[in-house]
Amino acid sequence: MNIKKAIHFCFKSYVLFTLLLILVIGGTLIWFVQKSSHDFVDYHNSIAKGSSAGVAEQIAFFIGEQKRLVKLFANENLPLILAVKNDPENDDVLETLDAAIFKYFPNRFAFTIADNSGEPMFEDFDGLVSDACKSDLRTFSKDKHYAPYIHPNSESYHFDVMANFGHQEGEHGILFISFHADVMGSILKSTQVLHHNIMLLYPKRKDLIEVVAEGARNHLDRLDYRLTKKEKSQILHRQPIRGTRWEAADLHHVNLFSDYESQIRNNAIFMFLLALLISLLFVNRLYREESQRKHAEAQKAAMIGLVAHEFRTPVTSILGALGLLRHMAEKKLKKNELELVDMAHANSNRLQLLVNDFLDVQTLESGNFQLDIKEVSLTDFITSALNNNKMYGDQFKVRFNLLTDVSTFKDVHFLADESRAQQVLSNLLSNAVKYGGPNKSVAISIDLTAHDVKMSVQDQGKGIPIELQSRMFQEFAKGNNQQVSGIKSTGLGLNICHKIMTKHGGKIGFTSEINKGICFFIIFRRK
């Protein structure tokens, strides 16, 4: 009997030891995942700091060297430059200067000579010296200093370098040379490391992308060259570049940290499951030893014990899990748990919107859809729509600008199902808020004819790409929303609006110009 008790005690001790060991391994792995993720972030932050600082130094040196060489060229070729300045109509002299500049600066894009006030001495018939370049000349003539930035041009994106020439009265002027911006892409490419993107940004223009590893920003396939909110969150380090208007920014790839954390977590889970399996095998071995001790007992008692054990184990696990969940529910939620709740809430709202849109589409396409057409006051209708959407506009710091005094239409009525008509106008207003850009305004105007009421909603966004315009009212038609980070759409809203307006016997349409916004309009019949 004492031997049996000793064996039973050892079995229980080994089980407790195994459970404790599993807890220790689990805790160690959790710490390891967190520590590894933190170290991984620190490692890439240090890489980003070094690469952005290195690029900033190289670009600053490169620009400074270009300025020095332009000044040196002006001094060495002063007679030729003065010959062009004194006789700008002489094509032979001009071609000679062009050849000299090309030999000295093979990467030059364009050049000109200007007087002390910054006015070019000869016409640029090829259009290479743009208005922005001329503005740079005037700035340099006034401040004697110029910080370059990228100028767009159909021929090549470029930047300007200028130097004064002449020492005697009447000889003074400015030598202006533009260089292809792509040359700086090679500097970025040589410094850029795996899983990182190096960019030159123009911070005063809302982080406008100037140069990437592929060259000037026109090499990028995107509608908006400004960094999105998501891209800004990927910046690990940014370094101002002396002598320019740029900053060197190092951005990590979008899934760099999440992928690494997922990989480490999966490895930790695998290790934990392996340790758990070994522990279970060990416990199972002990259990088999314990079962062999009891093998001499009656068959019925053994089977009842076995069945009881096989049922008790999962039931105990379920009760334990439920108890743990109940215990956790009674505690104050932690920050990361609140974030999970917020995430669940946000996705639930999105799911609700998606379901509502699908229900609307199904209802509109069914034969049972009916409109409750009544006389609707135009003044009350517009006022209600703006009030209902004001709070949404405030979230994006967008204001509604009513161009027409609706009080002058107090006696005007149109025929519509008011709730469905409000749904259409609210959709157009919310779209204008989302895609028109923050800190902008949305213009609402009203036009009357003898038979119709036309309501127009104009935003200040990027407009609709030409290839998308023919599909705007189709189901799931969506454009490129990179310009508005965090905006998600089912692609059903405008399709629903189109169906509602068709049921009314009205009309919905739009006009759009790239970079000039979109104007949606709806037309109802007057009473």
Strands 108-114 and 196-202 come out as unpaired
How confident is residue 301, by pLDDT bands cut at 50, 70 and 90? very low
Structure confidence by residue, pLDDT tens digits, 321-340: 433 433 444 355 455 654 54
Q: Are 27 and 147 in a shared domain?
A: yes
Residue 464: CATH number of its domain: 3.30.565.10
In a domain, 314, yes or no: no
Q: Which two tokens stand for residue 221?
A: 């396939």
Buried b (16+ CB within 10 A) or exposed e, 13-43: ebeeebeeebeebbeebeeebeebbeeebee
CB 175 within 8 A of CB 162: yes
> How far, in Å, CA of 325 to CA of 242, rounded?
57
Residue bearing the bigger pLDDT, 415 or 471? 415
Range ranked top by mean pLDDT from 60-74, 368-382, 490-504: 60-74
Residue 311 pLDDT:
40
pLDDT confidence bin for 52, thresholds 50/70/90? very high
Strand partners, 452: 525
State whether 361 and 390 are in the same domain.
no
Q: What is the CATH number of the domain that holds 174?
A: 3.30.450.20
Question: Is residue 64 situated within a structural domain?
Answer: yes
Question: In this structure, are 244 and 338 located in the same domain?
Answer: no
Point out the domain boundary residue: 238, 270, 296.
Answer: 296
- Of residues 484 and 175, the one with the higher pLDDT is 175
Ranking 152-156, 292-296, 446-450, 509-513 by mean pLDDT, the lowest is 292-296
Question: How many domains are contained in the chain?
Answer: 3
- In the predicted model, what is the mean pLDDT of the chain? 82
Among residues 429, 258, 218, which one has the least CA distance to residue 209? 218
pLDDT of residue 145: 86
| Domain extent for 276 | 1-296
Give pLDDT tens digits for 460-501: 888 888 888 888 888 776 654 444 445 556 678 898 899 999
Whether residues 346 and 423 share a domain: the answer is no
Answer whether residue 301 is part of any domain. Answer: no
- Residue 152 shares a structural domain with residue 275: yes
Tokens 């799931």 correspond to 476
Q: Hey, CA dihedral for 104, 107, 112, 115, is it positive or negative?
A: negative
Which residues is 201 bridged to in the sheet?
209, 247
Q: What is the pLDDT of residues 69-104, one digit of tens each?
A: 999 999 999 999 999 988 888 889 999 999 999 999
Residue 518 included in any domain: yes
Distance CA 490, CA 356 (A): 11
Same domain, yes or no: 162 and 34:
yes
Q: Is residue 307 part of a domain?
A: no
Q: Does 36 fall in a domain? A: yes
pLDDT tops 50 at residue 284: yes
Same domain? For 94 and 220 the reply is yes
Region 189-204: mean pLDDT is: 93
Say if residue 148 is in the same domain as residue 179: yes
| Same domain, yes or no: 167 and 18 | yes
Q: Which of 32-36, 47-51, 149-153, 292-296 has the lowest mean pLDDT?
A: 292-296
pLDDT at residue number 277: 85
pLDDT computed for residue 521 by the predictor: 96
Is residue 327 a part of any domain in this protein? no
Q: Does 358 have pLDDT greater than 80?
A: no
Same domain? For 137 and 208 the reply is yes
Where residue 168 falls among pLDDT bands split at 50, 70, 90? confident
* Cβ neighbours for 277, distance < 8 A, ≥ 6 positions apart: none
Name the least confident of 5-9, 197-201, 207-211, 398-402.
5-9
pLDDT at 402 over 60: yes
Asked whether residue 119 falls in the same domain as residue 173, the answer is: yes
* pLDDT of amino acid 294: 67
Together in a domain, 63 and 208:
yes
Per-residue pLDDT tens digits for 222-275: 999 999 999 999 999 999 999 999 999 999 999 999 898 889 889 888 888 888
Q: Is residue 339 part of a domain?
A: yes
